Amino acid sequence: MPELPEVETVVRGLRPHLEGRRFARVIQRRADIRTPIPEGFVQRVTGARVVSVARRAKWIVVALDRGAVLLVHLGMSGRLVLVKDGKPAAGPHDHVEFVMDDGAQVRFTDPRRFGVVDLVEDADLAGDRRFSELGPEPLDDAFDAAALEKALAGSKAPLKAALLDQRNVAGLGNIYVCEALNRCGLSPRRRAGTVRAQKAAALLKAVKETLGDAIRAGGSSARDYVQASGELGWFQHSWRVYDRAGEPCRTKGCTGTVRRIVQSGRSTFYCPRCQR
Ligand SMILES: [Zn+2]
C-alpha cells in the first residue's frame, strides 16, 4: 500500500509531465472507483491547464486553471503509469487516462479499486472533510517538536495508534510509523501522552528522517521518479523492523530480536529491547 513517501515520489514524477500543460483528452472507463467519479468529469477536465501538482497527506492534488482541483488517491493498489501512444493497450484495471497537449499520457490503474479520482471546486476544498480534519504535514518545517508534543499531549492511546491518527499527523502509515519508532527507540505500546521534551524531539527527528530517506531512495533508484516500466514512484526498501519478525534488530549495538504484535488489528513490528 502506498504511503506518504511513495505518494510524494509519484507527485515528483508527475510534476514535469503535467505542470503548465493542458489536458487534451481524458478517457474515463468506469463510473466509479472507490467513490463515484463526478458527473461531467471528462468535459470538466478536458482543456484545463495544470497550475500545480502537490501532495496533501496521501492525496495527489492537481490544481487546474478553472477553479477546481483534480484529486487522486492511490488507495491500496492504485498506480499512475506513463504510457506512450496508448501502449500497452489498456486493460480491465486501467480506469482513467489523461492525455496532455504535448502527447504525454498518464494512466490510472487500480485492480482493487480502493483508489479515488475526483474533481472538487476550489471553494469547496477547505470544507471538504477529507482535508479539513487532517493534522499537520510531518515534513513541513512548521511541524516541530513542540507541535508533535502538543498533538500527543494527554493521549492515553498507544503511541503507534496516536501517530496513525490522521488528525494528529497527516499521511503517516503503518510501515513508516514502525520504522520511525525503532529509529528513535520508543515503544509503539507506550502511552502517547508520555512523549515529551527530548523524547518528542527524538521522535520528530526519526519521523522526518525516515520519510526523507524513503523519498530520497525513490529519487535515486528510479530516474526522475519514473521506472523503466513507466510506473511512477515505486522503489525498493530495506526495512529496519517492518516485516522482519524473528530477525535481529538493526539498531547499532542492540542484540534484540524484532517482534510482531497486533495493535488495533494491524501488525506492529518493533524491538522490545531497545524500544521503551
Ligand atoms: Zn533493538
- CA of residue 268 to ligand 1 center, whole Å: 14
Set 2, 5, 158, 188: catalytic member: 2
Cα 257 to averaged position of ligand 1 atoms, centre (Å): 7
- 275 falls within a domain: no
Domain total in the chain: 2
Beta 23-28 vs 50-56: how paired, if at all? unpaired
266/171 same-domain check:
yes
218-255 CB burial, b ≥16 within 10 A, e <16: bbeebeebbbeebbbbbbebebbbbebeeeebbbeeee
Answer yes or no: do 12 and 125 share one domain: yes
Q: What is the pLDDT of residues 95-154, one digit of tens each?
A: 999 999 999 999 999 999 999 999 999 999 989 999 999 999 999 999 999 999 999 999
What are 144-175's pLDDT values in tens digits?
Answer: 999 999 999 999 999 999 999 999 999 999 99
User: Are the C-beta atoms of residues 106 and 90 closer than 8 Å to each other?
Assistant: no
Residues 127 and 15 in one domain: yes
Domain limits for position 221: 145-270
Candidate list 55, 58, 79, 199, residue with the active-site label: 58
Q: Within this chain, do residues 178 and 125 fall inside the same structural domain, yes or no?
A: no
What is residue 224's predicted lDDT score, i.e. its pLDDT?
A: 61
Please check whether residue 139 lies inside any domain of the structure.
no
Among 132, 165, 197, which residue terminates a domain?
132
Q: Does the residue 8 lie in any domain?
A: yes
Q: Quickly state the pLDDT bin for 221 (edges 50, 70, 90).
A: low
Residue holding cell 515503544? 187
Separation of CA 42 and ligand 1 centre (Å): 52
Does 113 fall in a domain?
yes
Do 113 and 149 share a structural domain? no
Which pLDDT belongs to residue 218? 81
- Last residue of a domain, which of 132, 164, 194? 132
120 in the same domain as 170: no
Count of other CB atoms within 10 angstroms of residue 217? 16
Final residue of a structural domain among 102, 132, 162: 132
* Residue the block writes with cell 533508484: 221
pTM of the model: 0.93
Burial (Cβ within 10 Å: 0-12, 13-18, ≥19) of residue 39: exposed
125 and 46 in one domain?
yes
| 84 among known catalytic residues | no
| 183 Ramachandran zone, left/alpha/beta (phi>0; psi -120 to 50) | alpha
User: Which band of pLDDT confidence, cut at 50, 70 and 90, is reported for residue 92?
Assistant: very high
Q: What is the mean pLDDT of the chain?
A: 94
**pLDDT tens digit sequence for 50-89:** 999 999 999 999 999 999 999 999 999 899 999 988 888 9
